[in-house]
């Protein structure tokens, strides 16, 4: 088996499809980090927290994107059809440190939904795969039907930060089938990568308006911004 990142042969002892060398080279977010948003601390106020609505309790990510190994791993899952790599990504997501109340209260994992057309094209939802793998480590359920896409949107990777908000407006809604479960719950939204948090915020807004008490975010990758401490 070849590593999905560097394409070298993976040793049998690595027990996965990403080699140990690539995993050791992941550009993990450094410490110390903001207790709320998980972003590396800088002097003064935390600018990344400003991206989050008040009902978002905490956000965590494993590593920077773009970066050595991290970009290739995400691409392998999202576009290469290497669904098995979701397990290795989720394992590292499961080890992230959280405030005690998040660990105690998290009721379910909510994958960011894909539109029907994009899921048909891809054959799977990468966020759903990550959520299912993460659920095994955290021993919490996955609610795939808590939110849904109301309409197709352009890929967020093609858009500026300002365009991302307009692209997502009204595109995600809470599902009535989960309204009783969502009411009053602390839910964790799962995605592969966060850039401006526009997609996660749209999902959180739908859940909050659907009755959720509080929401947290977890992703494998986080986009770097100018000035971030690497």
pTM score, two decimals? 0.91
Q: Determine the pLDDT at residue 77.
A: 97
Task: Chunk the chain into consecutive blocks of 10 residues (it has 230) and report each block's average pLDDT, rounded to whole numbers.
Answer: 92 89 95 94 78 97 95 96 97 98 98 88 95 98 94 54 51 90 98 94 96 98 81
Cα 81 to Cα 74: distance, rounded to the nearest angstrom: 11
Does any domain span residue 2? no
Q: Determine the pLDDT at residue 21.
A: 93
Does any domain span residue 206? yes
Does any domain span residue 17? no
Assign 104 to helix, strand or coil.
helix
Does any domain span residue 4? no
Can you spell out the DSSP letters for 7-21? -SBPPGGG-SSS-HH
User: What's the CATH number where 125 sits?
Assistant: 3.40.50
- Within 8 A by CB and 6+ apart from 25, the residues are 68, 69
Does any domain span residue 146? yes
Q: Total domain count for the chain?
A: 1
Does any domain span residue 20? no
Cα 74 to Cα 72: distance, rounded to the nearest angstrom: 6
Does any domain span residue 107? yes
Burial class (CB in 10 A: 0-12, 13-18, 19+), 2: exposed
Does any domain span residue 19? no
- Domain that residue 167 falls in: 27-223
Beta strands 56-65 and 214-223, pairing class: parallel
- Within 8 A by CB and 6+ apart from 142, the residues are 108, 109, 110, 111, 128, 131, 132, 135
Question: What residue spans of 38-186 are helical by DSSP H?
Answer: 70-78, 85-94, 100-105, 116-122, 126-138, 161-168, 179-182
pLDDT digits (tens, 9 = 90+) for 88-132: 999 999 999 999 999 999 999 999 999 888 888 899 999 999 999
Cα 190 to Cα 125: distance, rounded to the nearest angstrom: 11
């Amino acid at each position: 088996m070849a590593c999905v990142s560097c394409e070298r042969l993976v040793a049998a002892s690595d027990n996965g499809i990403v080699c140990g060398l690539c995993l050791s080279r992941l550009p993990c977010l450094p410490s110390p980090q903001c207790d709320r948003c998980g972003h590396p601390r800088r002097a003064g106020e935390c600018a990344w927290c400003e991206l989050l609505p008040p009902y978002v309790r905490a956000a965590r990510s494993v590593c920077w994107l773009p970066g050595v190994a991290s970009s290739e791993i995400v691409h392998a899952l999202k576009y290469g059809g290497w669904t098995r790599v979701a397990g290795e990504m989720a394992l590292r997501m499961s080890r992230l440190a959280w405030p005690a109340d998040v660990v105690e209260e998290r009721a379910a994992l909510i994958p960011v939904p894909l539109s029907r057309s994009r899921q048909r094209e891809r054959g799977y939802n990468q966020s759903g795969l990550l959520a299912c793998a993460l659920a095994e480590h955290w021993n919490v359920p996955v609610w795939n039907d808590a939110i849904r896409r109301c309409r197709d949107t352009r890929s967020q990777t093609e858009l500026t930060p300002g365009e991302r908000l307009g692209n997502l407006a009204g595109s995600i809604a809470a599902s009535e089938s989960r309204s009783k479960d969502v009411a009053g719950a602390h839910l964790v939204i799962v995605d592969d990568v966060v850039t401006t948090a526009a997609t996660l915020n749209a999902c959180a807004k739908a859940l909050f308006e659907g009755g959720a008490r509080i929401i947290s975010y977890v992703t494998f990758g986080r986009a770097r911004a100018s000035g971030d401490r690497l």
